[in-house]
């Protein structure tokens, strides 16, 4: 198969939600009544193009000529020798804007344009989704506003400047923990009063139906490409696939075409932060079912149901919830979930940089770090695919401050 010539059209998944957007008991729509008509219309609009060749051909044009798809599958020879395994990296970091986020931004912007919307809003944590949203807004001549927690604005100042340079208005959200959760709260409130002319471009597989399904569908191009590329390189499927998880879009993107392959273990990595007994972002490992941002899923919450503050060195994983399909896959035992701490992620950030000359995003560093966390007998001789969901340009200032003593002359 020639991926450069093929147009990718998502197919129905055996893990699709029901007509009300539920993955088992998870998902659904828990939103103000004023938003229900907009969500129902979006569901109808998306289902009309979900398997439409003309729609995906238009998306594909921008993927190939603007984003740079298909993204490369790279054999990490030095890591492979060190670990006595075959390590492949799916290079989403090479996409235009530096992460997988541009995939769902392009497709949703094409949809918004078809629907006649004039404005796009988005929430962002690490800023990669915000940059990608601002990018497609500039491309398609749409007004753009991005909501970002004030804490994330401070630690991702380069991405904030990029968004402004692209013409977006950035709102620094001062409420709550001043991170992604609060940015999403403000974005939803804004949408409630502006749904008529505004498209809310959600940046992950979370939120009310149809967003979790829609973003999963769009990002599934990662897994489709990787499967074909690995078959060409090795003639077989990988033994394990590893991806970091905040809301969960890059993970579901690469897992999607392998979930029915029993020989493949899909492994999602949450933010272990300072440790599971301290501050972290492990909603699957330490959370319980609850409602946040229009969905029922696993949340970090106290006994009274109050959402607790998440923590991660990576702004993109600093979220107290998880996409509902991940919650479903966890409960069904279809995907394995684990965690990596801030310290382990930093170590992997340096490790990949100095082993392969590839500087990963701090989010992706969590997935890379898990290669070291596995026991030697788990990894020896295995073919392992890691989704390198973003590059580390955005994290340079933050990491420089943390590691300045390590790299002093």
DSSP characters over 18-72 = -TT-EETTEE-----GGGHHHHHHHHHHHHHHTT-HHHHHHHHHHIIIII-PSPP
Q: Which three-class secondary structure state does DSSP give residue 157?
A: helix
State the distance between the two ends of the chain, measured CA to CA, in whole angstroms. 50
Average pLDDT, the chain: 95
CA 70-135-346 angle, to 5 degrees, is 70
Backbone angles phi, psi at 92, to 5 degrees: -65, -15
The C-alpha atoms of residue 137 and residue 187 are separated, in whole angstroms, by 16
Confidence of residue 181 (pLDDT cuts 50, 70, 90): confident
Question: Which CATH architecture fits 73-97+220-403?
Answer: 3-Layer(aba) Sandwich (3.40)
Confidence of residue 1 (pLDDT cuts 50, 70, 90): confident
The C-alpha atoms of residue 149 and residue 160 are separated, in whole angstroms, by 11
Q: Residue 17: CB partners within 8 Å, gap ≥ 6?
A: 23, 27, 209, 212, 213, 324, 325
CA 159-161-165 angle, to 5 degrees, is 115
Classify domain 23-67+101-211 at the CATH topology level.
Rossmann fold (3.40.50)
CA 109-132-184 angle, to 5 degrees, is 85
Catalytic: 101?
yes
Helical H segments across 235-361, by residue range: 249-255, 283-286, 324-332, 342-356
For the chain, the domains span 23-67+101-211, 73-97+220-403
| Active-site annotation holder among 86, 101, 178, 227 | 101
* Residue 307, CA distances (Å) to 181, 208, 290, 300, 316 in order: 10, 18, 9, 6, 18
Confidence of residue 158 (pLDDT cuts 50, 70, 90): confident
For strands 26-27 and 22-23, give the pairing. Answer: antiparallel
Catalytic: 297?
no
For strands 169-173 and 143-149, give the pairing. Answer: parallel
| Active-site annotation holder among 58, 92, 123, 145 | 123
The C-alpha atoms of residue 255 and residue 216 are separated, in whole angstroms, by 10
Are 23 and 15 within 8 A, CB to CB?
yes
Catalytic: 80?
no
Q: What are 239-262's pLDDT values in tens digits?
A: 999 999 999 999 999 999 999 999
- Residue 200 pairs with which residues in a beta bridge? 121
Q: Residue 74: CB partners within 8 Å, gap ≥ 6?
A: 88, 89, 91, 358
More confident residue, 189 or 64: 64
User: Helix 101-114 crosses helix 128-140 at what angle (to 10 degrees)?
Assistant: 40
pLDDT for the residue 156: 85
Which tokens sit at 383?
């073919």
Q: Which three-class secondary structure state does DSSP give residue 150?
A: helix
The predicted model scores a pTM of: 0.96
For strands 143-149 and 119-124, give the pairing. Answer: parallel
DSSP 7: P
Are 383 and 86 within 8 A, CB to CB?
yes
Q: What are 88-143's pLDDT values in tens digits?
A: 999 999 999 999 999 999 999 999 999 999 999 999 987 889 999 999 999 999 99
The C-alpha atoms of residue 246 and residue 323 are separated, in whole angstroms, by 8
Q: Residue 313: CB partners within 8 Å, gap ≥ 6?
A: 271, 273, 342, 345, 346, 362, 398, 402
Q: What are 273-303's pLDDT values in tens digits?
A: 999 999 999 999 999 999 999 999 999 999 9
Same fold, 23-67+101-211 and 73-97+220-403: yes
- Residue 289 pairs with which residues in a beta bridge? 298
What region, left, alpha or beta, does residue 383 occupy, with left being phi > 0 and alpha being psi -120 to 50 degrees? beta
User: Whose CA is closest to 230, among 93, 89, 334, 352?
Assistant: 89
In this predicted structure, the answer to whether residue 337 has a pLDDT above a threshold of 80 is yes
């Amino acid at each position: 198969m020639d991926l450069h010539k093929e147009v990718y059209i998502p197919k129905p998944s055996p893990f699709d939600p029901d007509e009300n957007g539920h993955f088992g008991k998870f998902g659904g729509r828990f939103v103000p009544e004023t938003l229900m008509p907009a969500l129902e219309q979006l569901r109808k609009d998306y289902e009309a193009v979900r398997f439409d060749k003309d729609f995906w051909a238009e998306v594909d044009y921008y993927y190939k000529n603007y984003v740079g798809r298909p993204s490369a599958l790279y054999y990490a020879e030095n890591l492979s020798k060190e670990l006595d395994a075959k390590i492949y990296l799916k290079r989403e970091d090479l996409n235009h804007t530096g992460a997988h986020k541009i995939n769902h931004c392009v497709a949703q912007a094409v949809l918004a344009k078809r629907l006649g919307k004039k404005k796009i809003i988005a929430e962002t944590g690490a800023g990669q989704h915000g940059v990608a949203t601002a990018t497609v807004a500039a491309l398609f001549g749409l007004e753009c506003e991005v909501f970002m927690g004030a804490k994330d604005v401070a630690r991702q100042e380069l991405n904030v400047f990029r968004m402004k340079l692209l013409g977006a208005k950035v709102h620094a959200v001062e409420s709550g923990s001043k991170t992604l959760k609060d940015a999403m709260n403000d974005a939803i409130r804004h949408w409630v009063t502006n749904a008529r002319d505004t498209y809310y471009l959600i940046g992950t597989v979370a939120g009310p139906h149809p967003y979790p399904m829609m973003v999963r569908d769009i990002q599934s191009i990662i897994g489709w490409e990787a499967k074909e590329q690995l078959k060409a390189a090795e003639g077989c499927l990988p033994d394990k696939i590893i991806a970091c998880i905040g809301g969960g879009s890059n993970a579901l993107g690469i897992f999607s075409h392998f979930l029915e392959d029993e020989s493949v273990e899909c492994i999602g990595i949450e933010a272990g932060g300072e440790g599971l007994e301290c501050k972290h972002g492990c909603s699957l490992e330490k959370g319980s079912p609850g409602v946040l941002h229009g969905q029922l899923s696993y949340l970090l919450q106290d006994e009274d149901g109050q959402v607790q503050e998440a923590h991660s060195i990576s702004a993109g994983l600093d979220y107290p919830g998880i996409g509902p399909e991940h919650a479903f896959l966890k409960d069904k035992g279809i995907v394995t979930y684990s965690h990596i701490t801030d310290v382990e992620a930093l170590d992997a950030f340096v490790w990949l940089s100095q082993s392969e000359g590839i500087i990963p995003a701090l989010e992706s560093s969590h997935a890379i770090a898990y290669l070291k966390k596995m026991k030697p007998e788990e990894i020896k001789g295995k073919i392992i695919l890691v989704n390198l969901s973003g590059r580390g340009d955005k994290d340079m200032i933050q990491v420089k401050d943390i590691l300045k003593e390590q790299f002093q002359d």
